[in-house]
Amino acid sequence: MSTPVAGAIEGPRTLAPLGRRLCRVTGRAGVGPYVLVAAADPDGPEPAPGQFYMLSAAAGWGGESGRPHLGRAFSVCRTREGRLEFLLEAIGPGTERLAELEEGDGLWLVGPLGIGFTQPPAGSRALLVGGGIGIAPLVIWAEALPGPGLSSRLSSHLSLLGFRSGEYAEAADLFPGHVLVATDDGTGPNAHHGLVTDLLERELAPTDVVYACGPHPMLEAVRRICVARDVEAQLALEAGMACGFGACFGCVVLTRTGFRRLCVDGPVVRAAELAEEWH
C-alpha cells in the first residue's frame, strides 16, 4: 500500500506525566443511561479540552474471560478541583467494568494524551455538535469558551446535541449556555424529532467554527456540511487504541496526507484534512 504516513501534527497539548498512575474514584453519578465517573488526579496537570486518557480499573480488569486486557480511551468530560470526570456508556467489557466503579476504587490512568480543540478566532461563534456519548469532550470545551450571551446568535457558543431518546438527552444538562437537542424518536423536552445535523444545517452561520464529536456517520455528515459551506470544523474522532501514546499504530484515520495516528496527531482533526473516504 502506498499511502504515506502523515507528518506530525501539533495543537493544544498538555504533556502527560510519564507512565501510568493509580488514582482514586471519588464519585459516580448516573446521567440518564450514562455514567459520570470522577477520579482524583492530584499529580496530574489540567488537560486541554479534547485531550483524552487511557483508563483501566485497578481491580477486576481482565474479568472472568481475560477481557478487558488493554486500557480504554476516554476524552475528559469535565474537571472539577483536581478531579477528572469521564462520561461512560457500558457497551462492552471495558466500559462495563469502568461504569461499575465505586467511590474509593482504584483507577489506572495515563494522560492527558493527544491534542485538543483549537480556539475559534475572535468574533466567531463556536457551534458544538455532539452525538450520544460523543458529547463528552464538548462539555469541557463549552465550559472553556466564554459565557453565553442573551441569544444564541450573539452568544460565543451554541451546542447542538443528538441522542437516541429523551432519556439519553438528560445528558444535555451537563452543558452550560444555549443548547438545542434532537432525538431519534422525538422524545425529550423541546427536542427536534430527527438528526442533530438537521439542527446544524439550520443554525450554521458563515462565521461559525464547528466542533463535533459523535458517531462516525454523524461526523461524516458534519464534515460534508461544513466543507460544502466552507466553514472550519474540528472533529474529535475515535478509534480502537491499544496504547494512547503512539506506540501501537493501531488508531489511524485516513487524511489527505496519509494515515494519521489519532492518539498523538489527534484525536481532534480538522474536517478539511480528512480524506473523502476516511470513515
Residue with cell 437537542: 181
Task: By CB under 8 A, name the binding residues for other proteins.
Answer: 1-5, 8, 13, 15-20, 56, 62, 65-71, 108, 110, 113, 239-243, 245-254, 258-259, 261, 263-264
Smallest gap from Cβ 113 to other proteins, in A, equals 6
Q: Which is nearer to other proteins, 107 or 253 (CB)?
A: 253
Smallest gap from Cβ 54 to other proteins, in A, equals 8
Helix (H), strand (E) at residue 162: strand 157-163
Query: CA 44 to CA 203: how far, in whole Å?
Result: 38
Query: CA 39 to CA 275: how far, in whole Å?
Result: 37
110-141 burial, b if ≥16 CB within 10 A, otherwise e?
bbbbbbbbbebeeebbbbbbbbbbbbbbbbbb
In order of 23, 190, 219, 234, the CA distances from 195 in angstroms are 38, 14, 12, 19
Q: Which is nearer to other proteins, 57 or 135 (CB)?
A: 57
The answer for residues whose C-beta is within 8 angstroms of residue 247's C-beta and 6 or more apart is none
Smallest gap from Cβ 258 to other proteins, in A, equals 5
Query: CA 72 to CA 78: how far, in whole Å?
Result: 18
Query: CA 158 to CA 244: how far, in whole Å?
Result: 30
Q: Which is nearer to other proteins, 155 or 257 (CB)?
A: 257
Q: Which is nearer to other proteins, 70 or 144 (CB)?
A: 70
| Residue from 181, 94, 173 nearest 131 by CA | 181
Q: Which is nearer to other proteins, 8 or 154 (CB)?
A: 8
Smallest gap from Cβ 186 to other proteins, in A, equals 27
Q: Which is nearer to other proteins, 81 or 277 (CB)?
A: 277
Smallest gap from Cβ 45 to other proteins, in A, equals 11
Q: Which is nearer to other proteins, 13 or 229 (CB)?
A: 13
Smallest gap from Cβ 76 to other proteins, in A, equals 16
β-strands 83-88, 34-40 pairing: antiparallel
Rg, the chain, Cα only: 18
Smallest gap from Cβ 6 to other proteins, in A, equals 9
